[in-house]
Amino acid sequence: MTDRSDDFTMAYQDTCDQITMVLIHGFPLDSAMWEMQLQDLSDVVRLVAPDLRGHGRSDSVPGPYSMKMFSDDIAGLLEHLNIHSPVLVCGLSMGGYIALDFYRRYPDHVAGLILAATRAGADSEEGKTGREAAAAAVKAEGTGPIVAGMLPKLLAPGSYEDGELVEFVQEIMEGASVEGVIGALAAMRDRPDSMPMLADIDVPTLIIHGAEDQIIPVSEAEAMYEAIEDAELVIIPDAGHLPNLEQVDSFNDAVIDFIEELTGEEDLDHENGHHHH
Ligand code: MLT
């Protein structure tokens, strides 16, 4: 890169040259769930992993939240970071709902999408009722019951035997605030159906799904794959709803391949010392 100052052209290297990837966490998690991506992918992309409002170390503002708020929060963060070129948006589960909403509102900000363990459709009536019951339970008893009920379903049976991983995920979930959880439940309940928009997505899209996802079935990933023109589908064996944590190498390799194709750069992984298997 060069910059013309008054009397000479200065060349410089700046790792912020890399395309930015925004990592949007799922419910009721926070950016800590991206630990293994922050660790392994930072040579290949600039990574920005926000804690959504009410989650992690972000302020626990009262709800209800909406997908629009989450999208606007992310656009505001990019503005704050002075990132004006289009970014890769990678969202897992609820993060995928937000990624699709962000694309709807800010298509010019998006260079590519990674939709992990997610779906494009809205909640069914039954699903909406479930969100309300969950919010009422959290209001009455705190987040404990939700965490306890969700944890075994988040991981594939094989990953659930990994005590360290279970504890890691549990700790993140236990950090979720009552306001954040209730706010996010409302945002998910009210999210629009993104299925009709899929045909209009004109950026490269990588869909990643765990073969053993017990929260969102693989058929949802396949439906998105059918509907998005420039899409790739990677189904990861022995992974449930958190494939980025359960099968780190498979997940990261799929992402690196996708970024290489997107940026047209060969052997990014090689140059950066990352090894394929
Ligand atoms: C998530 O994992 O983000 C949520 O469970 C998704 C959902 O409840 O729809």
Q: How far out from the chain centre does Cα 179 lie? A: 21
pLDDT at 274: 42
Domains of the chain (ranges, CATH numbers): 19-271 (3.40.50.1820)
pLDDT at 276: 39
Work out which ligand 1 atom sits closest to the CA atom of 94: 3
pLDDT at 269: 47
* CA 28 / ligand 1 centre spacing (Å): 8
Pocket of ligand 1 (CB under 6 A): 26-27, 93-94, 188, 215, 241
* CA 259 / ligand 1 centre spacing (Å): 26
Q: How far apart are alpha carbons 203 and 121 in whole angstroms? A: 19
* CA 49 / ligand 1 centre spacing (Å): 18
R_g of the chain, CA atoms, integer Å:
19
* CA 131 / ligand 1 centre spacing (Å): 10
Work out which ligand 1 atom sits closest to the CA atom of 119: 9
pLDDT at 265: 59
Q: Which protein residue has the closest C-alpha to ligand 1 atom 7?
A: 94
Work out the number of other CB atoms within 10 angstroms of the CB of residue 188. 22
Residues 205, 55: contact at Cβ < 8 Å? no
* CA 143 / ligand 1 centre spacing (Å): 15
Residue from 23, 22, 24, 15 nearest 44 by CA: 15
What type of residue sits at position 27? Answer: F
Q: Which protein residue has the closest C-alpha to ligand 1 atom 5?
A: 27
* CA 184 / ligand 1 centre spacing (Å): 10
Paired sense of beta strands 87-92 and 46-48, if any: unpaired
Q: How far apart are alpha carbons 226 and 199 in whole angstroms? A: 9
What type of residue sits at position 97? Answer: Y
Work out which ligand 1 atom sits closest to the CA atom of 241: 2
pLDDT at 5: 65
pLDDT at 18: 86
Handedness of CA 57, 210, 167, 215 (dihedral sign): positive
pLDDT at 206: 98
Work out which ligand 1 atom sits closest to the CA atom of 117: 2
Structure pTM?
0.91
Handedness of CA 246, 266, 95, 29 (dihedral sign): positive
pLDDT at 4: 66
Residue 100 φ then ψ, to 5°: -65, -40
Q: Where are the beta strands (DSSP E) in the chain?
A: 2-4, 9-11, 20-24, 46-48, 87-92, 110-116, 205-210, 231-236
* CA 206 / ligand 1 centre spacing (Å): 19
pLDDT at 264: 83
Q: Which protein residue has the closest C-alpha to ligand 1 atom 9?
A: 94
Q: Which residues of the chain have pLDDT under 50?
A: 267-277
Residue from 32, 50, 24 nearest 171 by CA: 32
